[in-house]
Structure 1
Amino acid sequence: MTPGAPPPGDPAPADGGLPTSAVIEAAGRPLSFYVHVPYCRTRCGYCDFNTYTASELGPGASRDSWAATAIAEIDLARRVLPDVAGVGTVFFGGGTPTLLPPDDLGDVLAAIDDRFGLLAGAEVTTESNPDSVDAADLARLRERGFNRISFGMQSATPHVLQLLERTHRPGRPQEAAREARAAGFESVSLDLIYGTPGESAADWQHSLEAALEAEPDHVSAYALIVEEGTRLGARVRRGEVPMTDDDDHADKYLQTEQTLTTAGFSAYEVSNWARPTRSDETRVDHRCAHNLAYWQGGHWWGIGPGAHSHVGGVRWWNVKHPAAWSGRLAAQESPAQAREVLDADTRRVERVLLELRLSDGLDLAVLTERERRRVDDLVRRELAMINNQRLILTLPGRLLADGIVRDLLD
C-alpha cells in the first residue's frame, strides 16, 4: 500500500516564491515548522499517512540523507520568508521521527534556530513510537532542544493493538513516558484511538486508565477512521472485521470526557485534553501550541516529503515520495507539487470550521448575518452556548461538530 494521490491545485513556482501579499502578511509574525519524517519500521494496518518502510523507499531515497535534505528546504524557507518574527513551535511528525538518530533530528532543529531563531519558550515536539526509543535516546533529544514528546500509545488492550498492527507491547508507552519525564521533557503526551472493531467499553476504559497511570500532561483521543487503501479497510470490505460504528464512537467519546475530566484534564479542542500547570513547573501551558497555531490560522512551513504548508492565505504541499522530494532540492528547486491561494471567504469558512472545535469557541462577528440567525437554534437545542460574544460548543455539540458547521454556514 502506498499513500493516495495528492490533492489538485495550481502549479507551484520552482523557486518556492510566494505572492507578495502572503510575504507581507507573515512579516513580523511568528512562524511554525512542521517537519515530516516519512519512515516507519512497519506500516500499521489502519494508516494512510505518507510513510514508507525500508522496502518501499526504492532508489534515490535514503534515511541517511534526510537531515541534509531537510536543512536544504529550511534554507529555501529562509530565502522566501526573510522577515518573520522567529519560530514559536516546531513539530516533528511522521512516520516515526525517532527511527532516526537523535542527532539527525537535533541537527534539523539547530538549522531552524540558526536560520530563523527559536523564540524564548518555543515548543519543540517530536512524535515517537514507544518501541523506537530508549532512555538514552530520550536524554539526547532533550539535550538537543526537544521539550515536548508525543507517544503513539493507541491502546493498552492486546487484541486491539494486534488488530491495529501496532508493534509495541502493552505497558511500553507508560514506560517511555516515565523515561521522557526522567530525561527532562517538560510535557509528555499520549495518543489514543477508540472505536477499533472488537473493542469493548471495558477495553477502552482500561486504555484510558493505563494512559493516566503514566501521568501524562496531554492526551489526544481520536475515533478510528477506516480509510480506503489500507489493510484494515480491505479486511472490513471483505467482511473479516466489522465496520466501526458511529454510536460506539459517541459512547466512547463521552467515556473519554468523563474519565479525563475526573482526572483533572480539560478538553481544549474536540479531540485533545490537557492537564493544568502546577505551580512548580516552568511550562506555562500543556496545550499543544503547535496544533493551536493550525487551528487559529497561523503561518507554518512544512518540511519534508508530502508536507503541507500555509503562509498568508497560500497553502501548498510537497511532492510525496522521498526520492522526488530530495531530487527537487538537490536541483535547487522547490519540492512543492502544487498550491492554492485562498480567497477571503474560503479563509473565513475554514476559520469557522477550525475555531468552533476549540473550547474558546468562535467570535460571532466572523459569521454572516444569516449565519448568526441560525445560532439561536443551536443554543435552544443545547448544542452551543454564547459567552462574551463567542459561540462555544457544548459536550453534545462536540459530538456533532462537523454537522453543526455544515448547518451553520451559508
Structure 2
Amino acid sequence: MPGPLPDGDPAPEDGQLPGQVQEGAAGRNFGLYVHIPFCAVRCGYCDFNTYTATELGPGASQDEYAGTAMAELDLAARVLRTSGLPQRPLQTVFFGGGTPTLLPTEDLAALLRRAESLWPLAPDAEVTTEANPDSVTEASLQRLADAGFTRVSFGMQSAVPHVLKVLDRTHAPERVPEAVRWARNAGLDVSIDLIYGTPGESMDDWEETLSAALSYEPDHVSAYSLIIEDGTKLAARMRRGEVPPIDEDDHADKYLAAERMMEAHGLHWYEVSNWSRTPDLACRHNLAYWRGDDWWGIGPGAHSHVGGVRWWNIKHPVPYANRLAAGKSPAAGRETLDGSAAHMEQVMLRTRLNEGIPVEVLSAGGRRAIPSLIAEGLIDPPSAFRGTLALTLEGRLLADGVVRRLLPD
C-alpha cells in the first residue's frame, strides 16, 4: 500500500504561499505534474499513491476525476497569482500515476486544455504521459498527439514473462513494440521504463530485456534498480522466503550491462538512471526536479515545489475531492527549505546529473573530499579541475556514497 506522507508544518486552507517565493521566480522554469491515481492492478513492488477500483470506495470515481483535478488547476492559478508570482509559460507537463491512460483520452485532453487556458504553453513545451503498453490503442495515442501531447513513457519493466510475473505486471511483452510503433506513427517521442534486479532475474534475462527495449529504437530509457518498499506485496513475499533477497552486487553488474548496451545503441546517460539519444530528448520535466525549478503537483498525494516551499496533498481521492469541493486547498502539509536543507538537496540531486555540480556550491568540508574522490576514480579529474564535479561510471555505481562525502556533518 502507499507509504505515509512526510512530516511538515500545517498548510493554509487557502494555499497561499509566503512572499519569499517571489524572489528569483522569473528566472525559474515552471511545470505541472498531474497525478492520475488509478491502476487496473496493483503491482507487487509498488508503493505509489495509486488505487484499484476495489480500493477506492464510495465518493472516488474515475469518471469524476478530471473535473476534480481541474478544480485544483484553477486553485493553482489563483494561488500563484495572489502570491505575487509572475505569469510564466508551462515548460513541461507530465501526467503520471498510476496509469494515466486508464482515463479516457478525452479527459486527459481536457485537463491539458484547462492547463493551457490558465498558463501559456511554451512553444517547445514537453507534454508527457506515462502509459502501460496494454492501456493504449493506435487511435488513443493519435488522439493524445492531436491534443498536444509530445511524449509517451511506456512502463515495459521487462521483456521476460517470468520476471513480469514476479512484478505483477499484466502486459504481454509482444505488446510493447506494437505500442511503440503506434506512438511513432502519431509523432510522439518515446521513452521506455525498465526495472532490473527483480528476484529470479538472471543476467541473461536482463540482457534480453535491454536488447528488446533497444531494438525498438526509443528516444529515452529509464532503468531503475528494484527497491523493495515496506508494506508492498513483494516485501511480504521476501519476508516469507518465497523470493530471494536483493543482491547489491547483482544490481551493480546489471547497471554496468545497461551502460554498455545503451552506449552501443547510441543512448548516453544524463542522470544516473536515465539515458537519451540526444540532450534534447532528455526528460525536461525530471530535469526540472533535479535542478530545483518550480512545479505544481495536481492530484491526491502529489508534491509541489515553488521557490523553496514544498507541499504535498492529502493522499486519498475522496478527502482530496471533498477539500476542493469546499473551496479549500488539498495540501496536507508543507515545509520551507532553509539554507542548509536547500544546500543538501541541491548537492543530492545535481550530483546525479552528467552536467555535474559546481565546486563553488560545496561547503568547505565537501571540497576537502574532492582529492580522495578523484584518487578513488569516483569523480572525473578534468571536470573537477575545470570547477565542476561529474561522476565517473564507478562514481555512478556509488552515487549515494559520493553525495554523503560531499555533505560532511
> Runs of 5+ in structure 1 lacking a partner?
278-284
With the length of structure 1 as denominator, give the TM-score of the two structures. 0.96
C-alpha change, 1:145 and 1:326, in structure 2 (3 Å) is: same
1:146 alignment counterpart = 149
1:272 alignment counterpart = 274
CA distance in structure 2 between the aligned counterparts of 1:390 and 1:224, rounded to whole angstroms:
30
Are residue 346 (structure 1) and residue 344 (structure 2) matched? no
Give 1:170 deviation, angstroms: 1.2
- Equivalent of residue 158 in structure 2, options 155, 158, 162: 155
CA distance in structure 1 between the aligned counterparts of 2:215 and 2:363, rounded to whole angstroms:
46
1:330 alignment counterpart = 325
Are residue 393 (structure 1) and residue 400 (structure 2) matched? no
2:47 alignment counterpart = 48
C-alpha change, 1:380 and 1:394, in structure 2 (3 Å) is: same
Query: 1:37-90 CA deviation, whole Å, 9 max, x = no partner?
Result: 000001011111000000000111111111111111111111111223211000
Give 1:96 deviation, angstroms: 0.1
Are residue 90 (structure 1) and residue 89 (structure 2) matched? no
Alignment of 1:161-310 (within 5 A): 161-185=164-188, 187-276=189-278, 285-310=280-305
CA distance in structure 1 between the aligned counterparts of 2:25 and 2:345, rounded to whole angstroms:
18
Contact 2:347 2:406 in 1 (8 A): no
Query: 1:212-257 CA deviation, whole Å, 9 max, x = no partner?
Result: 1111000000000111111110000000100111000000000000
SS at match of 2:301: coil
For the aligned residue pairs, the C-alpha RMSD in angstroms reads: 1.0
Contact 2:229 2:235 in 1 (8 A): yes
Contact 2:29 2:288 in 1 (8 A): no
CA distance in structure 2 between the aligned counterparts of 1:28 and 1:204, rounded to whole angstroms:
42
Contact 2:30 2:89 in 1 (8 A): yes
- Equivalent of residue 408 in structure 1, options 370, 388, 406: 406
One-letter amino acid of the structure 2 residue matched with residue 170 of structure 1: P
SS at match of 1:16: coil
2:379 alignment counterpart = 384
One-letter amino acid of the structure 2 residue matched with residue 124 of structure 1: V
CA distance in structure 2 between the aligned counterparts of 1:371 and 1:57, rounded to whole angstroms:
47
Query: 1:139-191 CA deviation, whole Å, 9 max, x = no partner?
Result: 00001110000000000001000110100001211211111000111x10000
SS at match of 1:90: strand
C-alpha change, 1:407 and 1:29, in structure 2 (3 Å) is: closer
Q: Which range moves more in the overlay, 168-177 or 188-197? A: 168-177
Contact 1:30 1:84 in 2 (8 A): no
CA distance in structure 2 between the aligned counterparts of 1:234 and 1:26, rounded to whole angstroms:
45
Alignment of 1:31-46 (within 5 A): 31-46=30-45
Contact 2:90 2:125 in 1 (8 A): yes
Contact 1:29 1:86 in 2 (8 A): no
CA distance in structure 2 between the aligned counterparts of 1:111 and 1:352, rounded to whole angstroms:
35
SS at match of 1:241: coil
CA distance in structure 2 between the aligned counterparts of 1:12 and 1:257, rounded to whole angstroms:
43
1:133 alignment counterpart = 136
Contact 2:301 2:313 in 1 (8 A): yes
> Runs of 5+ in structure 2 lacking a partner?
none
Q: Percent identity?
A: 59
One-letter amino acid of the structure 1 residue matched with residue 220 of structure 2: H
Contact 1:197 1:244 in 2 (8 A): yes
CA distance in structure 1 between the aligned counterparts of 2:393 and 2:179, rounded to whole angstroms:
32
Give 1:25 deviation, angstroms: 3.7
Contact 1:150 1:190 in 2 (8 A): yes
How many residue pairs align between the two structures? Answer: 401
SS at match of 1:393: coil
With the length of structure 2 as denominator, give the TM-score of the two structures. 0.97
One-letter amino acid of the structure 1 residue matched with residue 398 of structure 2: L
CA distance in structure 2 between the aligned counterparts of 1:327 and 1:7, rounded to whole angstroms:
21
